[in-house]
Chain A
Amino acid sequence: MERILFYIIAAIMIVFALATVTSRKVLRAVMYLLFVLIGVSGIYFLIDYSFLGAIQIVVYGGGVIVLFIFSVLLIHHVELELEVTPLKKKIIAGLLSAAGLGITLWAIITYPFKAVNTSQPIEVSEIGNKLLSYGDGGFILPFEVISVLLLAVMIGAIVIAKGKKLGKGVSRKEAGAQNEN
């Protein structure tokens, strides 16, 4: 049963991954990409790792893809098609992805996987405790580093979005100062 489901999901993912890179309509490519990402989350659900599956849907489905769609909505017309990539770029991209595939396959084939007979779903509380523990195997440092990074990104985004207005405020002050003089 699981084996059949896995093959179905894998086939869907491969087909839509190919469709993503060959489609010449931007939003269609984004939707195909969404199907691939949902397929990945389906595999997580299949191996009973539902937390990561849900994260996959939230982050990639609800976050990244919605952002993509937003930008497409803002800049693209429905009839627009992407231009065909020149052959040279195609060859370079093909070689690079083949190299990536080779490395990944090599890593997977040489890694000694152990079959686990009893698998139990991971509780969310375990993940939370691991994230906040500073003992052995705890993830508090990366967790904090990432949160600082995200804060910096957020402030940066606000500054960029507000850039002009802040500038205006300053110039108005300066103008006021000049008037007083």
Chain B
Amino acid sequence: MITYLSMTKSIHDWLFSILPEGAANITEMVLIALAYLALFAVAGLYLVLLERKVAAWFQLRLGPNRVGPGGIFQTMADALKLVSKELTSTDRIDKFLYNLAPYFVIVTALLAMTIFPFSKQLQAFDPNIGMFFLLAISSIGVIGILVGGWASNNKYALIGAMRSGLQTISYELSVGLSILTMILLTGSLQLSEIIEVQRTGGWLIWQGHIPAIIAFMVFMIAGTAETNRAPFDLVEAESELGAGFHTEYSGMKFAYFFLAEFINMFIIASIAVVLFFGGWLSPFGITEGITWFPEVFWFFIKVLVIIFLMMWFRWTFPRLRVDQLLTLEWKYLLPINLVNIIFMAILIWLNWTL
């Protein structure tokens, strides 16, 4: 039986058999990049559709249902429309930075996506600093938003960008600390090893019980804030700021910002799945013995569940004010997190983990 595992291996062997080593290496890199770009596009487009469908469901509407059966080609049509649109820009802007900003946002999102283990073999890049690499990459993603907002030469965009910077820098702390809490448990930053730890001892949210659950809740709140989604979407609060930092962007450049938001949601959900819910491991090991079963399936199911949770937040909670946003982070989440790390350390020290 041909599975995707042997498929990647046979492509690898075939490439090295017909090409010299250097050329084969480069071809392989290009192929992997293309695969990731395809995943990026498909995930982005279908997450947008999912969001619209979920929103419709929560509001007792039908949602997009005209293009294709049940509206499944709606976002494709939207993408085509966006591609064909004119790329406008206002007068007297910083052209270079204005054009650079969307790529900055999307490249950092792509870079972060490379290190996720979709299954045991399906991982492009597995550095031994895994989680730290993710934090590093996500810390520069905000630069694109800041620069884009400033270069637009528009007050709304500038205020949106400032809010975004404020929010991302604050909540990065909570994301980092809740990840650190779980790293105490795994003892390794490498993503493949984090999952290996969970194969024998059960998912980390089970192993770490109370502090792990607290860390998960903090991570989900801070992660939602990091992706600038409602209820933390002051960045593009349409009643106050127009469209926030991407007010002046049109066509594909707007689409890049939009896609990056959804990909960032995918990334946050993937981190949650790897750190708390065992990555590609099946629940209770039910498909452990079946060699041909694609473990990718479990990874994506879990990711979709977490994404659904984040969409649920979006359509449930009203938007926070700026001061409430900062109070939540600095007066509640941060102290909770710091105490939680100590709690987790004591737990591991006394061997109370499950």
Which residues of A are interface residues toward B (Cβ below 8 A)?
A: 1, 25, 27-28, 31, 34, 38, 50-51, 54-55, 57-58, 61-63, 65-66, 69-70, 72-73, 78-79, 121, 123-125
Contact = CB atoms under 8 A, between A and B. Distances in A.
Interface string B111-138: 0000000000000000111001101110
B151 A79 contact: no
Contacts of B161: 73
B136 A58 contact: yes
A123 B189 CA distance: 10
Contacts of A121: 127-128
B146 A69 contact: yes
Interface stretch (B91-99, B270-278, B279-287, B311-319): B91-99
Nearest to A76: B150
- Which of B150, B158, B161 has the most chain A CB atoms closer than 10 A to its own CB? B150
Interface of B: 22, 25, 92-94, 96-97, 100, 127-129, 132-133, 135-137, 139-140, 142-143, 146-147, 149-151, 153, 158, 161-162, 165, 169, 172, 187, 189
Contacts of A125: 187
A-B residue pairs, 5 tightest by C-beta: A62-B139, A57-B136, A61-B140, A54-B136, A78-B153
B244 to A, nearest CB: 14
Contact of B129 (A34, A38, A54): A54
A124 B128 contact: yes
B25 A69 contact: no
A130 to B, nearest CB: 16
A124 B136 CA distance: 15
A73 B143 contact: no
B211 to A, nearest CB: 21
B94 A50 contact: no
B92 A79 contact: yes
Contacts of B172: 62
A66 B133 contact: no
A65 B141 CA distance: 12
A62 B168 CA distance: 11
Given A54-B132, A58-B136, A65 B143 contact: yes
B93 to A, nearest CB: 6
A73 B22 contact: no
Contacts of A63: 139
A124 B189 contact: yes
B146 A66 contact: yes
30 contacts: A1-B22, A1-B25, A25-B94, A27-B147, A27-B151, A34-B140, A34-B143, A54-B129, A54-B136, A57-B139, A57-B140, A58-B135, A61-B140, A63-B139, A65-B140, A66-B142, A66-B143, A66-B169, A69-B143, A69-B150, A69-B165, A70-B146, A73-B149, A73-B150, A73-B158, A73-B161, A78-B151, A121-B127, A121-B128, A124-B128
